[in-house]
Amino acid sequence: MRESRYYSYVVGELPEGCKLCVKGAKLVLFTTGVCPRDCFYCPLSPWRREDVAYANERPIKSIDDIIEEAKIQEALGAGVTGGDPLARLDRTVEYIKVLKENFGKKFHVHLYTTGVLATKENLKKLYDAGLDEIRFHPDLFNPNSKLFKVEIENIKNAFDFDWDVGGEVPAVPGQGERIRWFAEFLDKLGAKFLNINELEFSETNLRALINRGYQPISNESSAIKGSLELGLEILRWGEENTSLSYHLCTAKLKDAIQLKNRLKRMARNVAKPYMEITEDGTLKFAIAEYEDLDELYNLLVEEADVPEEWLYLNRKKRRIEMPIEVALELADAIEGDVRFYILEEYPTWDRIEVERTPIN
């Protein structure tokens, strides 16, 4: 077992999907929030538990949205997720085909599924579409359920096709025995890997986790106590007892590496000339707000002699964007109700505001 430079832990080879993911080069393709299961630890927000589709943060209204988002990110692959992507199989197959047709066979696509709907017929459609890697997440912690028995039988179907097969489950404290059972099951079938995710809380699953006795490790972290330790224990055991590769994906990897690298790839393609790209991949620039934007724009250009190429009138967000240096000068020179701020935003479709600092 070794610690990677991405704050994760590895036994054997890192799965191909993970290699691109840690570089921020994987498009997150959310094909539906519909799922045949209701896991207590599921972190999905309520609006994502509907039959909706997203490419990263961008709602998918047409195929063009997927292509555009992949280009902005300079994506080298996609991770197909949900819900369970097989719950909307035709849509998922169409998206995979489109990505392969537009970006080529080397564009690596991996997919997460519960296994409930992984019949031979459905898996063949995914394989024919060009899927490169499939990761199963069965109802491992509810082994007496009917769905679990179906999942286990269906996982066997995946080995009829020439793609990489593995598993991916959270390290739920107290469930080490079940995870070891799954590892041995995959190993006997000839799977390549088992990914273990450090369990994290969200606004959606926090109450369910607390009700079961799980607690965050601190006020600053979303990770659950004991999860990382269990993951490490599984990797040490797996290294000695199976031939699988393992990857323990930590909460820190997702926040400090995966997201940050994806933002940086996107920022260099969406940043306007007046925007700075920070070390975290966010966009930093200044804005001016005023009730009559056209009046303010004309004032800045005609009376303050600000070159038009330094200004962007964003009507949707009701503001004028500009370089920080320009705003600092204008804030001292312009009187009245004009408000100047330095903003930091994500370069994503939804442009979430990270920080706002008033200048005047």
Residue of 260, 261, 263, 236 whose CA lies nearest to 248: 236
pLDDT range class, residue 360, cuts 50, 70, 90: confident
| HEC assignment per residue over 224-286 | ECCHHHHHHHHHHHHHHHCCCEEEEECHHHHHHHHHHHHHHHHHHHHCCCCCEECCCCCEEEE
**What pLDDT shows up at residue 107?**
98
Question: DSSP 3-state assignment of 125?
Answer: helix
Cα separation of the two ends of the chain: 54
Domain count, the chain: 2
Where among 216, 246, 267 does a domain terminate?
267
- My answer on whether 308 and 240 are in the same domain is no
Kindly report the CATH number assigned to the domain that includes residue 140. 3.20.20.70
**What pLDDT shows up at residue 333?**
87
Q: Is the pLDDT of residue 15 over 90?
A: yes
- My answer on whether 15 and 80 are in the same domain is yes
- My answer on whether 105 and 199 are in the same domain is yes
Q: Are strands 319-322 and 339-345 parallel, antiparallel or unpaired?
A: unpaired
- My answer on whether 152 and 216 are in the same domain is yes
Q: Structure pTM?
A: 0.93
Quote the tokens at residue 328.
């600092």
Distance, CA of 205 to CA of 230 (rounded, Å): 20
Per residue in 115-165, pLDDT (tens digit) is 999 999 999 999 999 999 999 999 999 999 999 999 999 999 999 999 999
Its domain, for residue 289, covers 272-358
- My answer on whether 230 and 284 are in the same domain is no
Average per-residue pLDDT for the chain: 96
- My answer on whether 141 and 249 are in the same domain is yes
Per residue in 68-109, pLDDT (tens digit) is 999 999 999 999 999 999 999 999 999 999 999 999 999 999
**What pLDDT shows up at residue 357?**
97
Where among 239, 267, 295 does a domain terminate?
267
